[in-house]
Amino acid sequence: NKSLNIGLIVRNTDEEEDVFATVAVPEVLPRLVRLPTGADKQEFILLEDVIKLHMDILFNGYDIVDMKAYRITRNADLDIDEEGAEDLLKEIEESLKMRKWGNVVRIEAEEGISHELLQMITQDGEDEPLGGVYEIAGPIDYTFLFKLIQLVKKPELLYPSHQPHQPLQDGEDVFTWIRHQDRLLHHPFDSFDTVVQLVRAAAQDQDVLAIKQTLYRVSGNSPIIEALIAAAENKKQVTVLVELKARFDEENNIHWAKRLEQAGCHVIYGLIGLKTHLKTLLIVRREEDGIRRYVHLGTGNYNDVTAKLYTDMGLLTVNPQIGSDASVLFNMLSGFTVPSSLNQLSVAPLFLRHKLEQYIEYEIEAARKGRKAHIILKMNALVDEKLISLLYKASKASVRIELIVRGVCCLRPGVPNMSENITVRSIVGRFLEHTRIFYFEHGGKNKVLLSSADWMPRNLDRRVEAMFPIEHSELKQQIIQILQCYLSDQAKSRFLQPDGTYRKKAAKGMQKMHAQEQLLKRAGDRAEKSMSPATLPFQPRTHSTDEQAMNEVAATSQF
């Protein structure tokens, strides 16, 4: 599955019979081979091309009739009977062994492949790909380019490197910092190290009684995992929900689940039939005035590598209602408790869909009464039919709707008498846009919510997700300004048209506004101020280090 191969038709010179052969391109060797050239020039050849040039050595006595590279992609879904499985971890381990033999869903082949060779590859139609055959004009599988930036030192071709701002100052106590007020982290503009520092501090703090955390995707050498292991070794009560069914991270998560169990952590695998996709950390600490709960809620994974490449947001808070909700949530995930209601969190598949419907209906009613009604939604994908229909209904009621949807969007904006008041843009830039931010005018109260969930049936109905409000006025205003920054972007925005195509808008007479670069600049300004001894107490923002992160992703992670 997904291995690169060279398919051949070879002919026996004595018997004049055509035979199919395949040669696997070794994964243990570098895909890029440097050629001996002068010091002023760097040239490379792909490993598969080197093999082709010497293929006659492998097939001595045969004529090579045809030869092309190809790659087969197989269905990676795991067929797991969760209810019947006595040990879910072992069940998934066994299923992973069968992944490489799943049904063929796609074949990528070098451009110009002959019909005869393609037929031989697909075994006369027995393995005909459900998704079709794609002829590739160029190399197959471009992931080798991650290595190229390491081999060729051309800094002028890369984004300028930058360092993330550290919201937590050296020597500052993380618990005091969070207790002072709610904190917003905007990655990669704020360093993810702040989250790591929190878990590390909890692992060593003698007053911390318990740590509970959900893990969906983590890096290959996760500092979060190491901190949780240290906490268990320090006799803290550590409960970790590791989602074993996170696609393509199953093997990595199984490894970490075993490590955590060996260290004495209580490891759970979630609810039957549901993936646990929410990002939640709960720390229970004994303090002078009683037990206090410290909570981190995020839109993205606890992954220190992708946190340098994806835009995500996280809230750090000691809000008692959110702390109570987090406790109830972990009771639900680790037992059989089904909450009838929560204070501030909206959790899928129980309440999240209904809550979103309520917010949209509120805007519809406000518009019908002649009041200001406005919705801004930022997410990765908008697919859910029921919510799309409700947005159409809101548009017909004259609610102004601005959508920032990076990926799949099944809503059509600008259709007369249906979606005239809706705009949709996709922003694809240096960082992968991953935040889920929902803004509702809500009668002038400006409801701002963050979530782990996209608006898809799988997220709202078949996953455990969380949506949480931002109530601190400064943080709320900060997020609104960030949304306005994205809505002002002219450099990387593509606008969805009524016919389903995307187009750029030309910026007339001025330099194009680039949202991510603007956010980086603001972050840099804040970083400089925080380094000055005469500044006011820190207000969050900032980030980066890209080249290093790209290298780490190429080595240890899958997108």
Q: How confident is the model at residue 97 (pLDDT cuts 50, 70, 90)?
A: low
Q: Which range (84-88, 167-171, 198-202, 228-232) has the least confidence?
A: 84-88
CATH pick for 4-157 out of 3.40.50.300, 3.30.1840.10, 2.60.450.10, 3.30.70.1060: 3.30.1840.10
When pLDDT is cut at 50, 70 and 90, the band that residue 81 belongs to is low
Instruction: Please indicate whether residue 277 is annotated as part of the active site.
Output: yes
Domain 352-503 homologous superfamily, CATH: Endonuclease Chain A (3.30.870.10)
Please provide the average confidence, as pLDDT, over all residues in the chain: 88
Dump pLDDT digits (tens) for 361-396. Answer: 999 999 999 999 999 999 999 999 999 999 999 999
Distances (CA, A) of 286 to 49, 180, 202, 296, 386: 64, 17, 11, 18, 45
- Active-site pick, 186, 277, 434, 514: 277
User: What is the per-residue pLDDT for 110?
Assistant: 95
Kindly report the pTM of this predicted structure: 0.86
The lowest-confidence range among 86-100, 184-198, 328-342 is: 86-100
pLDDT at 82: 56
Q: Mind listing the pLDDT tens digit for each residue in 397-441? A: 999 999 999 999 999 999 999 999 999 999 999 999 999 999 999
Structure confidence at residue 31 as a pLDDT band (50, 70, 90): very high
**Contacts of residue 426, Cβ cutoff 8 Å, sequence gap at least 6:** 404, 405, 406, 407, 409, 493, 494, 496, 502
Q: Quickly list H helices, 369-514.
A: 385-396, 457-461, 473-487
Higher pLDDT, 500 or 95: 500
Written as one string, the DSSP assignment of 427-450 is E--SSEE---EEEE-GGGT-EEEE
Stretch among 181-195, 266-280, 312-326 having the lowest mean pLDDT: 266-280
* pLDDT of residue 86 exceeding 60: no
CATH code assigned to 174-344: 3.30.870.10
Q: Which residue has the higher pLDDT, 429 or 154?
A: 429
Between residues 96 and 172, the one the model is more confident about: 172
Cα 279 to chain centroid, rounded: 12
Query: Can you read off the two tokens belonging to residue 551?
Result: 């290298």
409-415, long-range: CB < 8 A, 24+ apart: 409/381, 409/382, 409/496, 410/382, 410/383, 410/385, 411/382, 412/496, 412/498, 412/500, 413/496, 413/497, 413/498, 414/497, 414/498, 415/498
Q: Which pLDDT value is given to residue 416?
A: 96
Mean pLDDT of the region 269-290: 92
Confidence of residue 551 (pLDDT cuts 50, 70, 90): very low
pLDDT score of 497: 97
Amino acid 541: pLDDT: 34
pLDDT band at 61 (very low <50, low <70, confident <90, very high): confident
Delimit the domains of the chain by residue range: 4-157, 174-344, 352-503
Rounded to 10 deg, the angle between the 515-531 and 473-487 helix axes is 140
Residue 457 — very low, low, confident or very high, per pLDDT cuts 50/70/90? very high
Quick one: what percent of the chain has pLDDT higher than 90?
66
Listed range (205-209, 322-326, 523-527) with the worst mean pLDDT: 523-527
List residues bridging with 239 in a β-sheet. Answer: 212, 266
Mean pLDDT to the nearest integer, 492-510: 87
Domain 174-344 matches domain 352-503 at the CATH topology level? yes
Given a cut of 60, whether residue 354 has pLDDT beyond it is yes
